[in-house]
Amino acid sequence: MKLQRKNRLRALSLGAVAVSGALALTACGSDDTGKKTTDGSSSSASAGSIKCDDAKGQLLADGSSAQKNAIDAWVKNFSQACGVQINYKGGGSGAGVTAFTQGQVAFAGSDSALKPEEVTASKKVCSGGQGIDLPMVGGPIAVGFNVPGVDNLVLDAPTLAKIFDSKITNWNDPAIKKLNPSAKLPDLKIQPFHRSDESGTTDNFTKYLIATTPDNWKYSGGKAWQAKGGQSAPQSAGVAQQVKQTAGAIGYFELSYVSDGIKPVSIDTGASKPVAPSTESATADIAAAKVVGTGKDLSLQLDYKTKAEGAYPITLVTYEIVCDKGNKADSLPATKAFLRYIASEDGQKILSGIDYAPVPDEIIAKVRTTIEGLN
């Protein structure tokens, strides 16, 4: 039953249903998400520990679709406790950063830290301050595939790079056979899918390829997809849906979007065994991340080249981007209350139940301190 409920949650997360009333969500399955994220307890039980303070009104936010399922679970609990309406569009990291630097949202979500030019742009909307990165959600970027007759697949960085750069075009290619000697690989064309929108998921996925196999991935990287060939779809849900319905397809998206019809690739990192994406294997990698931001900025440096046993190398951390100073007075109380909740122990506990990884204790403690100082 637990597996059925998990699969049901994942399938529901690929749809989009407008929710009205006390919540302004843009994804479906909020009731199931609430039950799953609190490990069977009621949403009101989680909401009881939320400090609303002076939070009121409505918050507009946009950004990372990678964290959309987490945001929806958090919003459900927070809105029930505080009566604040939160509309998180989940239009992608690029859209979120743009909306933030144009002053259209109270906060943004991005799977990539702000670039110097984006920090400069943020100073126009953060009176006396600037935008900062607060790591809030961790997790693996799953490489999902749909190959009839193949349930388990191992790939390494060079093979992945060649597949997504259209250099390996068939599933029975010798390079894939070598990594999967017991698999019955069909004579079937590979259909690689990538993001059509600017995405921090793309940025992190290609950072992994650049770091581990630069000879096979000679692109500069960034939120926009650069390689030639392949097909595209918007947001993580769109890529996952295309992989699910296309025989021979492969794509990249967060583990929470892996569902019936999609299997995750295990990565040969050089460790004794290939590593499958999971909250545990992602946490093992993220735990080695270093804070490289300055001042109140808490941007992280991830280890894409890890060979540690059980550490999954293709991970991301989603940041909530907010002004350190100069936040809008009318939305600041609700913004701080919501960020305080999602960074809290209760908020972080939700993540592992929906295929995300909590932020390591040492780092999330710094996030909590920074949130209290927002003004």
pTM of the model: 0.78
pLDDT at residue number 43: 37
Tokens 């793309």, residue? 202
pLDDT at residue number 48: 57
pLDDT at residue number 176: 98
pLDDT at residue number 53: 87
Which parts of the chain sit beneath pLDDT 70?
1-48
pLDDT at residue number 47: 53
pLDDT in tens, 104-149: 999 999 999 999 999 999 999 999 999 999 999 999 999 999 999 9
